[in-house]
Structure 1
Amino acid sequence: MPLSKKALLLLACVLMSTTTTVAGAQAAAAPTVLPAGQFTLRSDYHQFDALNSALGSKLGVASVHAVMANANHDRTAITDSLGVAGYTGGFKFDSGDNGDCANYPQGITTSRDAVGTANSGNYDGHQLVLVSWYTKDGCGGDQARSRITLVDWDATYPNKYRKILLVEPTGTAAVPDFRDIPMHAGGVSWYGDHLYVADTNRGMRVFDMKKILKTDTGGSASQIGRQSDTTYYAHNYAYVLPQVGTVTAATTSDAALKWSTISLDRPTASIVMTEYTCQADCDKYPNRPPRAVRFPFASGATTFAATTTASEALRLPWYNLNGVASHNSRWWFASSGAKKLYYWAPATGSATHNWVGGAESISYWEHDTEPDLLWSLQETVGHRNVFAVEQASYGS
């Protein structure tokens, strides 16, 4: 029996509705699970023990509290309208750092990553935000070195921050020295006393926040390392943080991991990483879907075992990812290219939220009595905002 015009119109509407639903489901892209066993880490926390012991004896060790007591830069208020949901506050670096075309902020972690919520998340008496940077050998130049910035986020102390140069020990135990680390420092995670910094093609370099060294100032901005038995310069930085170990990655898949950024997941005692890749037409980055991988710490420790197998691995449908975070089986991915923050949880699926331009890493900030936060930052020259949003604004 032929359908009436009314019936045909109704059928067309149903088909259009079905097509819209399917298209919507496709648009709400979700990660796919990969075999976690194909990703492993090897760690060595003692490769620089003799050199670091000798450097500590010659230069003297400074505590985090002592460093912050000598903080010499003023953080300033955010003046940009970020336009992000759940915004709770943040800060900007001083005018010199905000407009510096040779230095770029990348990774972010906090003392709440390091110690949790106990004692308001204080490490050595301070509630801190830590940002990693890479330095070029001039505007538009090649990567030359890397550093961290320790920022007080605590009403007890002035709104100050201090820069610390990251260095690799060299020389011998009798004549110890150090050199610059020219890495991108795209992500950073502070866990206990250990600081893990992403090194794109290797994995992570490891530092110990209880082994900050005092150096001499007064030399030229180009001088680095041992000048005499009693004088060590570090581009006029008053403090250096020497590497204590290395965590190298391996995979049996078709491509080695690109460690673009990392973040700490305290509830599962693990570090998560993701890759910056492009969908197409990139010269400097892989042109393929990125992956996110979770690596668990050794039980009850802030270190990885000698060999660690990943506990979770995902292939992602999103690109240009500079930020990752995970907490209680939930994931967030920040895309600098799309200006989006993607959320995904196995139980509820994915969601897409508007985010800032120039987005970099993410750090999850736990709180006992107030809403949990996501901390992030922007690398854009002139707009280097470090900010926090309520995590609850970025779910499904």
Structure 2
Amino acid sequence: MGPRRCSTNNGGNPVKKYRRLVVGLVAGLAAALLPAVPAQAATALPAANFRLKATAYSGLIDDLDAALPNVSVPTVVADGNRAATSCSPAAANRVASFCWNSGDDDVAYWVPQGITTTADAYGEATYEGATAVLVSWYDNGTDGVDRGVRVSFVDYSTPSAPTYRHVLLVEPYTNGSGQASFRAVNLHAGGIFWYGHYLYLAATGTGFRVFDLRHLWQTSTTNGSAIGRQSDGSYQAYGYKYVLPQAFAYNQSTTNGYANIRFSFASLDRTSTPDSVVVGEYANPGAGSRIFRFPIDYTDRMLTESSDGYAKATQAYDVSVQSMQGATSVNGKFYLSTSDGSGNAGDLATFTPGGSVVMHHDVLPVGPEDLSYWPAKGQLWSLTEYAGNRSVFAVRASAY
């Protein structure tokens, strides 16, 4: 890993921090004065035509468990090697925020996309005693290496001073010598949600990749340019200390001629009965962009299957909102984050089934992405993607 990504500087640029504070205060006040604007109605679609089917659980995980030290989520969360910084992103009704250290704020080849928290994992909002925020990043390959996807494990037990460490996502496979190994996961990582022991990752064209948090492995960090099992028997991960393996996947299909879903982002809804998953589509222009809901089973933490073995959507809507980047639902009301390029504030759209989509313009910072709801706090969490202006923040959901 390059020196910028390994930076542990937590001071940040004081000019940048001051500029963010001023811009955040001014933009937040201006956004609060803007009226919400009704748009077109959300059109219901026949939801059962959209379905997902699970693959088998990877048998290679047992082999890799035997080859590598297995560590717990609290161990990784407590092993932060970076300190977040304080900042004030320009989000109306903001109630919490932090920013990455200077190396992660500025790095061009890693781009943050998805967000989830321990409030998704379990109702008590902790996981084995840890309070954490997880953020997914994809590698765009601009430095000549595609490392796939990493996830930041942020220790949020002290909100005023979060620390974090990046974990590389990997896919187990059998190498040419017949040995269990792993490789990078090459996805956009536009949305994630945490449910029990599973971390679900939106896979744009196919459905979901699912990673098992009971199998976090510690790897060798002696070779920052290698991944998987090496000829000397070591397991490398581009210099990352920990990896999280894919356990299984969900592959999509449709019936009656409907177009496949573009799995651009995803979130968990703990306010529905039963718990459910919200997924949606990025589109620019936005005509025909859709939102879907799938039920999920709290007993096995997997999508709820029908008698034919498919998990089928229970709600589907054509919302035709341009540049959606995230969506979630709270007590039946949908919240959609939308972006407007690298120079304009983001918007938040809301709708309830049977009603019109309402646009709340310029209430989010530039470059908003995925959404996640923290029920006990009543907070909508999100993040921004553009290098040099990245933040993680929460707003009051009840304000919209």
Give 1:314's match in structure 2, choosing from 298, 306, 317. Answer: 317
Give TM-score scaled by structure 1 length. 0.84
Task: Give the whole-Å Cα distance in 2 for the aligned partners of 1:72 and 1:163.
Answer: 9
CA, structure 1 residues 201+66, in 2 after alignment: closer, same or farther (shift >3 Å)? same
For 1:59, the equivalent position in structure 2 comes to: 68
Measure how far apart 1:276 and its partner are. Answer: 0.5
Pairing 1:171–2:174 present: yes
2:114 and 2:369 in contact (8 A); partners too = yes
The equivalent of 1:393 in structure 2 is: 399
Partner of residue 133, structure 1: 137
Note the C-alpha offset of 1:70: 1.8
Distance 1:127 1:45, change over 3 A: farther
Deviation, 1:30, is 2.3
CA contact (8 A) 1:202 1:248 kept: yes
Alpha-carbon distance in structure 1 between the residues aligned to 2:357 and 2:184: 41
Give the RMSD, CA atoms, in angstroms: 2.3
- The SS at the match of 2:299 is coil
Equivalent positions of 1:92-241 (< 5 A) are 92-116=99-123, 118=124, 121-139=125-143, 144-155=147-158, 159-171=162-174, 175-219=179-223, 221-228=224-231, 230-241=233-244
Number of residue pairs matched?
A: 352
Which has the higher Rg, Structure 1 or Structure 2? Answer: 1
- Which consecutive residues of structure 1, in runs of 5 or more, have no partner in the other structure? 1-23, 280-286
CA distance in 1, matches of 2:379, 2:298: 26
Q: Within 5 A, what are the aligned runs for 1:25-64?
A: 27-46=38-57, 48-49=58-59, 51-64=60-73
Partner of 2:98: 91
Q: Give the Cα–Cα distance (whole angstroms) in 2 for the partners of residues 159 and 25 of structure 1.
A: 34
Check the 8 A contact 1:214/1:239 in 2, yes or no: yes
1:244-323 aligned within 5 A: 244-252=247-255, 253-268=257-272, 269-279=275-285, 288-298=287-297, 300-304=299-303, 305=305, 306-323=309-326
Matched with 2:374 is: 365
What SS is found at the alignment partner of 1:360? coil
In 2, Cα distance between equivalents of 1:109 and 1:187: 9
User: Per-residue deviation at 1:303?
Assistant: 0.7
Q: Distance in 2 between matches of 1:137 and 1:168?
A: 18
Could you give the per-residue CA deviations for residues 232-288 of structure 1, whole angstroms, max 9, x where no partner exists? 000000000010000111113442111100000113311110001122xxxxxxx74
What is the letter of the counterpart of residue 297 of structure 2?
A: A
- Determine if contact 1:143/1:184 at 8 Å carries over to the other structure: no
Letter matched to residue 64 of structure 2:
L
**Contact 1:34–1:313 (CA<8 Å) still a contact in 2?**
yes
Partner of 2:3: none
Decide whether the 8 Å contact of 1:54 with 1:174 is kept in 2. no
Report the Cα offset of residue 138 of structure 1: 2.2
CA contact 1:61–1:214 (8 Å) conserved in 2: yes
| Cα-to-partner distance string for 1:170-228 (whole Å, 9 max, x where unaligned) | 11796210001110000001001111000111110000111111100111x22111114
Give TM-score scaled by structure 2 length: 0.83
Residue in 2 that maps onto 1:380 = 386
What CA distance in whole angstroms lies between the structure 2 residues aligned with 1:25 and 1:99?
33
1:28, CA displacement in angstroms?
Answer: 2.9
